[in-house]
Structure 1
Amino acid sequence: MTQAARQPRGLRSLLSGVLNSDGKPHPVENTLVAVTVVLGALAFISSAFNNLHLVSSWSGLVGILTGAWGQFISATTGERFLLIIGLGASAIGFFLGMAHGGLFGGVIG
């Protein structure tokens, strides 16, 4: 009688299974996914406050750049899916940060 192999349970194994669905590790691509999602969340949340326009605009801009590069080199559909979510949040945070004062609003000039 054969037994099924025990699969590790938890968030880390689930995330690894989604991001590395082809069975190969992708450390650079996965790092870009994580950075883009974190920066997107930071930009999106900080854009709700008018006085945090510097944080939201800069983190949104960097999130857009890392997400675009991640899309360019991504290898799996899971990576692309999370990159698009991070890119969308980064773009919304960037545009609202620009509307509230911009990248240098009040600091220069």
Structure 2
Amino acid sequence: MVKITYVAFDGASTAVEVPLGSTVMEGARDNGIAGIDADCGGACACSTCHVYVEKSWAGRLPAKGELETDMLDFAFEPDEQLSRLTCQLKVTPDLDGLVVRLPEKQI
């Protein structure tokens, strides 16, 4: 398990333990984190699991794939460096301590 902190748009934060091998989106869904809708269930077919990663994490995550990059075009106010789709972030020991911030809304 790794600790991931989800920060709501209003600043409230929730830290949860997420199992290795799952995704950051599944960690949010399974722990009732409001603001990550995950309408497509993790198929990278929507942008409703969009978050902004903390700046200190931006260069430490695996590179975005082409599909994720394309889907981020549909996200609410995407940031080229900080926006990620949580369904595309596989939980590994390297993600322990990850902090993600939720946008004002999901589209």
Q: Same fold (TM over 0.5)?
A: no
More helix by share: 1
Larger radius of gyration: 1
More strand by share: 2
The TM-score with structure 1 as length reference comes to 0.23
